[in-house]
Structure 1
Amino acid sequence: MMSDSKYIEIFNVAQSFKTAKGIFPALRDINLNIAKGEFVALIGHSGCGKSTLLNLVAGLTVPSAGTLIAANKEIAGPGPDRAMVFQNHSLLPWMTCEGNIMLAVERVFGKLETREQLRARTAAALELVGLSHAAHKRPGEISGGMKQRVGIARALSMEPKVLLMDEPFGALDALTRAKLQDELLAIVAQTHSTVIMVTHDVDEAVLLSDKIVMLTNGPAATIGEVLSVELPRPRNRIELAEDNHYQQYRKAVIDFLYTRQGHVEKAA
C-alpha cells in the first residue's frame, strides 16, 4: 500500500541529451519522494536541470536512467493526472478565455459528460481564479497576470492530481507576481493539489512551499539539499516578513545558492 509520503517517487533518475558536441549530462542520481498534497519548489542556478526534472515528472521526456512513479504507476508519458503551467501562458489567441479552458475540459471529460457539465466545469475553473467576468474576452484583451490565471485555471479544470508549474510568475512585475502567489496559496488550500514548481525566487520558494529541493550546478546536476519548510498555513506574506523562522529558511536557501553553489555566477 502506497504511503502518503511517496505519492511521487523518483529513483536514481538521470537525463542526458545528444548534442553536436556529444552527450550532455543534464541530471544524475535524482532521488526524491513527494507526499500527496505537498507543495515542492525546485530551485537552483540557470542550467541546473530544474525544468528538465519537471518535464520528466510531466512525462514529456523519458529519463536516460532510473524510474519515476506517480500514484504507484510508472510515468511513461503525459496524462490528465498531471497538468502543466508554463511561464508563457500558451493560450490560443483567437479563442476566448472560456474557449481555451473548454479545450482542456473536453479533452479530459468530453466522452464522460454532457455539454452542460463541461460548461459548468469551465465556469468553475474561471471562478476559482476570479476571472468569471473575463470569460468571453480573448487573451489580447486582458493583462499578463490575467492570462497567467487563465493558464492556471485551464490546468486546474482537468482536476489533476499533480500541478506542475515552470516559473509561472517569472515574467510578471513584482506586484502582479505577489498577488498571484497569494491567489495560488488560496487555490492550493482549496484543491489540495500536489504541486511541483520551478522557481528562481527564494522568497517565492519559502512562502509557497512545504519542501524546497535545491539542485547543484550543472552539468550533471543533482539534488544538493532538501529543506522542509515548517511554517503554519495559511501563510501571510506581511506577517512572515518579520518571522524569524521564515528568515532562517530564506537564509538557508541563499547560503546554498550563493555560497555553496555561487562560483558559476561569479565566473559568468
Structure 2
Amino acid sequence: MLVNSSPSINTRRTLQIQDVGMVFPTKRGPFVALRDINLEVQRGEFVTLIGHSGCGKSTLLNLVAGLTTPSSGILLLQERELTGPGPDRGVVFQNHSLLPWLSCLDNVLLAVERVFGEKEGKAQLRERALAALDLVGMSHAVAKRPQEISGGMKQRVGIARALAMEPKMLLMDEPFGALDALTRARLQDELMRIVATTGATVMMVTHDVDEAVLLSDRIVMMTNGPAATIGEVLRVDLPRPRARVALAENRDYVQYRKEVIDFLYTRHSHVEKAA
C-alpha cells in the first residue's frame, strides 16, 4: 500500500462523488432522481451500480461521464472537478454507437485522433488503434464495417475505442444487456481479462446480479426511486482471476449473490405503480 506524504491526498483515489443530487424539471414540477450520493472509487477498482429500473443508475453514470450536470454536490476525478465530457473517461453504452460507414479500425481511430492527434503522427495513431483492437480480440476484423460483424464483436470494438483513449476511468452502461446469454458470458470473461491486463478503473451499470458479483470489487446497491440514493455497498472479496464455473459452487460467491438478492427483492422490492 502506498504511503502518502500528505494526509489530505489519497494517491489511489480516482473518483470522488460528494453529496450529489439530481433534480429534473418536469411539467408536474421538480423530479428528484438522486439525493445524497457519496462514493469514492479507487484506482484499478471495478465498481458496479445495481438496482431496480428508475433507481438512477444510468443518471449517476451520466453524471460521472459529464453528460449531465448535478443539481447539487460535486464530482472530482483525480482531485479535479468534472464539468463536462472528456477523454479522461471512456464510455461504453448498450448501443455500440459505431459509425456504420467506417471500418472497425477507423471507428477506433476517430477516438485516438481526438486525444493524441496533435502530438503523434499517423503511424503512431494507427498503431494505438490496432493495439486496442488486438486487446479485445478483434485484429481479424480491422477492415470490416459494423454491419459485417456480430453484436458481440461490435461491443468489443466499442470497448477498444474507449480503451484506446487511455482514460482514467472506463464507464459502462449495461454494455452486454442486448446480447444473448452465451455471448454475454464470453464478453464478461473477456472484460475481466482486459481489466486485469490494463489495470483499468471501471464503473458499470447492470441489472444482472450474477454479472455484478462475478466482475466487481464492490457492488453499489441503489434504493428505489424517486429520490434514490446508495442503500448499501458490498465488498466482493473473491480472488482473481475468477472462473465462472468454479465460482458457481464457491460458498463466498453464493453468499455475496444472496446478499444482493436480499437487498433488491426483500428489503427494496420494486412495485410498478399504475400511471
TM-score tier by shorter-chain length is over 0.9
Kindly report which structure 2 residues correspond to 1:66-145, keeping only aligned pairs within 5 A, or say none. Answer: 66-145=73-152
Q: 1:226 to 1:178 in 2, by over 3 A?
A: same
Moved over 3 A (4+): 265-268
Equivalent in 3, 26, 31 of residue 33 of structure 2: 26
Q: 1:263 to 1:98 in 2, by over 3 A?
A: closer
Distance (Å, rounded) in 2 between the aligned partners of 1:265 and 1:233: 38
Q: Is residue 31–residue 226 contact of structure 2 (8 Å, CA) maintained in 1?
A: yes
Q: Is residue 12–residue 29 contact of structure 1 (8 Å, CA) maintained in 2?
A: yes
Measure how far apart 1:6 and its partner are: 3.0
Partner of 1:264: 271
Q: Is residue 5–residue 33 contact of structure 1 (8 Å, CA) maintained in 2?
A: no
Q: 1:4 to 1:178 in 2, by over 3 A?
A: farther
| Partner secondary structure for residue 96 of structure 2 | coil
Q: Is residue 35–residue 194 contact of structure 1 (8 Å, CA) maintained in 2?
A: yes
Question: How many pairs does the alignment contain?
Answer: 268
| Partner secondary structure for residue 170 of structure 2 | strand
Partner of 1:217: 224
Give the aligned residue type for 1:252. Answer: E
Equivalent in 238, 242, 245 of residue 235 of structure 1: 242
Kindly report which structure 2 residues correspond to 1:118-197, keeping only aligned pairs within 5 A, or say none. Answer: 118-197=125-204
Give the aligned residue type for 1:206. Answer: V
Deviation per residue, 1:134-177 (Å, 9 max, x gap): 00000000000000000000000001110000000000000000
Moved more, 20-29 or 179-188: 20-29
Equivalent in 45, 61, 69 of residue 52 of structure 2: 45
> Which ranges of structure 1 fall in alignment gaps of 5 or more residues?
none
Structure 1 length-normalised TM: 0.98
| Partner secondary structure for residue 113 of structure 1 | coil
Give the aligned residue type for 1:18. Answer: P
Measure how far apart 1:78 and its partner are: 1.1
| Partner secondary structure for residue 23 of structure 1 | strand
Is residue 250 of structure 2 the alignment partner of residue 253 of structure 1?
Answer: no
Distance (Å, rounded) in 2 between the aligned partners of 1:96 and 1:216: 42
Q: 1:157 to 1:201 in 2, by over 3 A?
A: same
| Partner secondary structure for residue 122 of structure 1 | helix
Q: Is residue 217–residue 264 contact of structure 1 (8 Å, CA) maintained in 2?
A: no
Q: CA RMSD in A?
A: 1.3
Distance (Å, rounded) in 2 between the aligned partners of 1:233 and 1:18: 44
| Partner secondary structure for residue 264 of structure 1 | coil
Distance (Å, rounded) in 2 between the aligned partners of 1:206 and 1:236: 12
Measure how far apart 1:266 and its partner are: 9.2
Measure how far apart 1:24 and its partner are: 0.7
> Which ranges of structure 2 fall in alignment gaps of 5 or more residues?
1-5
Distance (Å, rounded) in 1 between the aligned partners of 2:228 and 2:268: 11
Give the aligned residue type for 2:259. Answer: A
Distance (Å, rounded) in 2 between the aligned partners of 1:92 and 1:117: 22
Distance (Å, rounded) in 2 between the aligned partners of 1:264 and 1:6: 37
Identity percentage of aligned residues: 71
